[in-house]
Amino acid sequence: MDNLSLPKLESEPQFNLERFFHLTPDVLCIAGYDGYLKKVNPAFSDLLGYSVEELMRVPVSDFIYSEDKIITSRFRENLKEKIPLLNFQNRYITKKGELVWLSWTSISEPDNELIYAIAKDITHLKKLEEERNLLLADLARLNTDLKQFTYTTSHDLRTPVNSLLSLFNMLDLSKIEDKETLEYIELINVSALTIKNTLNKYVDAVSSEKKINIQLEVLNLTQMVNGVCGSIDTLIKKSNATFIIDFTEAEEVKFCSFYLQSIFLNLISNSIKYSNPKVDLVITIISKKVDNTVQLIFADNGIGFNMEKVGNNIFGLHQRFHNNSDSKGIGLYLVQNHMHSLGGKITVKSEVSMGTEFTLTFRD
């Protein structure tokens, strides 16, 4: 039988591992079970500011931050039991007294009682994490302050409102003969009740740490508009506004009742506030079905604004585009937030002296 010769394997290339050990920017070291470093690379020396000789002269635990020594020792003992160390983080003290964070990956060689370890300097990540935590703490504090302010304001405003309602109860309406005066008194009473109910919602929501009526429900658009218009009936009559409303294409929308009330209230009151004195105010509210979604087109023939100058600032907080002392720049900011918070969107078109049109698209 002929002898079969195996193919010769090419010899493996010789790598200079010592050069790799010295050039790598990560920390590389070999430590003994006795707690002393046996070999370290320049990256470790540069990071801590000690010479290689200084690092190997004393136990490595001498360089570890005091609060991390116990847990580091515990994981080191696990290494002796052949349990690899993966992404273990601890702090070291540099020669200048600064703290650096290292993330370690280590394995042991029990036969020679050696531990091989590599570490990455993650100090910059820890600083970013600390800054983020400080920002979150500040945000939590500001949220608490805002919550307390909202609670206090809502609670304190209920007192004069309750006093106003008590006065209505004390009135003897039978002694008032003028029908128009009686109508105005009833409108004031209804408005006061609406304010009280709204304030109660705020107080209850803040007290229970829940969102305000955030549940979604199927809402009848006609009923919602009528309810809002009824609450500001006097304002509407004074403006002589004419409403053109058509909800035949979509009579209902799934949304938050509280938010939709706020949207209608802000848009209607804005149309009245920024009406054009040269023409009779006309407010148009139409619903549409577009790609299985409901849209509301809300338009008026008011003074409008220059879209090129206003741009995306139209929905910004405290943004005002007309000289109106009653404007606080909050209404449209709330409208956009109400829509976005429930997955909807709002767009706007406007021309100076031609009016403004908002398109509200509700999520399916």
Instruction: Record the pTM.
Output: 0.51
What pLDDT does 100 receive?
96
Provide the CATH number for the domain formed by 124-210 in this structure. 1.10.287
The predicted structure's pLDDT at residue 154: 65
pLDDT of residue 323: 58
pLDDT value of residue 4: 46
Q: Quick check: helix, strand or coil at residue 186?
A: helix
pLDDT at residue 6, as a whole number: 47
Q: Give the position of tokens 């009330």.
A: 261
- What pLDDT shows up at residue 208? 57
**Where do the domains of the chain lie?**
17-121, 124-210, 213-364
The predicted structure's pLDDT at residue 2: 46
- Burial of 95-133, coded b for 16+ CB within 10 Å and e otherwise, reads eeeeebbbbbebebeeeeeebebbbbbbbeebeeeeeee
Q: What pLDDT was estimated at residue 121? A: 95
Residue 34's pLDDT is 94
Position 279 scores a pLDDT of: 93
Q: What is the pLDDT of residue 192?
A: 75
Structure tokens at 18: 């010592």
CATH number of 17-121: 3.30.450.20
Report the C-alpha dihedral over residues 270, 272, 274, 276, rounded to 10 degrees: 150
Classify the phi-psi angles of 352: left when phi > 0, otherwise alpha if psi is within -120 to 50, otherwise beta.
beta
**CB 43, CB 24: distance < 8 Å:** yes
What pLDDT is attached to residue 311? 67
User: What pLDDT score does 43 carry?
Assistant: 95
DSSP state of 49: T
Q: Which residues of the chain have pLDDT under 50?
A: 1-6, 9, 213, 327
What is 213-364's CATH number?
Answer: 3.30.565.10
pLDDT at residue number 109: 92
The amino acid that residue 180 corresponds to is E
